[in-house]
Amino acid sequence: MDKYSLFVPNFLPFKEYFVPEKNIACAGCGLALAIRQTYKALESDIEKAEWVTSGEGKLFSKLFDKSPVGNSEPSLLKIKKTGAELLICFDNEAGGSLDDAVKKAMPAIAVAEGFHYVATACPSYPFDLYEKVKKGMESTGKAYIHILCPCPVAWQFDPELTVKVGRWAVESRAFPLYEVGSASAYNLTVTTAKPRPLADYLKPQYRFAEISEQQIASLNAAVENDYKKLADKIQPA
């Protein structure tokens, strides 16, 4: 450490709450990475965390008083805090078939349901995720965080690329990272001045092996439309 003062883990607590000996995840699991980073942010509150066991698609109806959406049942972590609770959704997009490829906008539903703090995060941006979980614990009311976890098995890419694929998802604006504070104040936490082509994100994933140029173009239009809607909500301070 004499030559360089740069030391990345200084920005994160060094203590591990994750138990690596019991980790039965596949190699390069994005979910395991997200859980490890989330546990670091929770620190002493970790005993209040509880995994929600979902059954038969009733998860969302139970939590949001709405009818169930699709077949997908992502893992959900519930942390009790004073007066309310923090919900963290670990989304690996594994429940979707090609028919229901359009994802339900869970953060938008959470904003409409009156959550006080809503955010999206990705383990490729660990410090961003860390700050969002901290903010979620500090906010007064209910909070919801949606974490995109690249899954090498379901998305069919090389396990080396887990962090890269998450980063490409953010850079191509397919999964913008933003947070919604109190009074619906939108805030982009990772800005992309020049978006990466969407094909860069889809290409390494073998689940999109049979996708055509036309489909990529239509997906790109949908992504740009969503991003425009989001950008309109962000009011210059």
Partner 1 sequence: MVECSLLDKELGRPFKPGARREATPEWDKDKCVRCGLCYVYCPDGAIYRTEDGFFEADTDICKGCGICHRECWFGVISMVKED
Task: Work out whether 153 is an interface residue with partner 1 (CB under 8 A).
Answer: no
Task: Work out whether 4 is an interface residue with partner 1 (CB under 8 A).
Answer: yes
Helix (H) or strand (E) holding 77: strand 75-81
How many residues bind to partner 1 according to rule CB under 8 A? Answer: 35
Q: Which of 38, 120, 162, 172 binds partner 1 (CB under 8 A)?
A: 162
Residue 130 or 178: the one with the smaller Cβ distance to partner 1 is 130
SS3 for 172-218 is CCCCCCEEECHHHCEEECCCCCCCCCHHHHHCCCHHHCCCCHHHHHH
Q: Which of 8, 98, 209, 237 binds partner 1 (CB under 8 A)?
A: 8
Task: Annotate 109-175 with DSSP letters as a single string.
Answer: HHHHTT-SEEEEE-TTSHHHHHHHHHHHHHSSS-EEEEEE---TTTTT--GGGHHHHHHHHHHTTSS
Residue 28 or 176: the one with the smaller Cβ distance to partner 1 is 28
**Class of residue 232 by CB neighbours under 10 A (exposed 0-12, middle 13-18, buried 19+):** exposed
Q: Which of 53, 98, 144, 160 binds partner 1 (CB under 8 A)?
A: 160
* Binding residues for partner 1 restricted to 93-132, rule: CB under 8 A: 126
Residue 29 or 42: the one with the smaller Cβ distance to partner 1 is 29
Task: Work out whether 15 is an interface residue with partner 1 (CB under 8 A).
Answer: no
Supply the minimum distance, in Å, between the C-beta of residue 58 and partner 1.
30
**Cβ atoms of residues 69 and 158 within 8 Å:** no
* Binding residues for partner 1 restricted to 16-55, rule: CB under 8 A: 16, 18, 20-30, 32-33, 36
Q: Which of 49, 69, 108, 161 binds partner 1 (CB under 8 A)?
A: 161
Residue 34 or 79: the one with the smaller Cβ distance to partner 1 is 34
Task: Work out whether 200 is an interface residue with partner 1 (CB under 8 A).
Answer: no
Distance of alpha carbon 157 from alpha carbon 15, whole angstroms: 31
**Cβ atoms of residues 79 and 45 within 8 Å:** yes
Separation in Å, CA 157 to CA 152, 153, 211: 5, 7, 15
Task: Work out whether 61 is an interface residue with partner 1 (CB under 8 A).
Answer: no
Supply the minimum distance, in Å, between the C-beta of residue 41 and partner 1.
13
Distance of alpha carbon 124 from alpha carbon 170, whole angstroms: 9
Interstrand relation of 143-148 and 117-121 (parallel, antiparallel or unpaired): parallel
Supply the minimum distance, in Å, between the C-beta of residue 151 and partner 1.
11
**Which residue ranges make up the site for partner 1 (CB under 8 A)?**
1, 3-4, 6-10, 12, 14, 16, 18, 20-30, 32-33, 36, 126, 152, 158-164
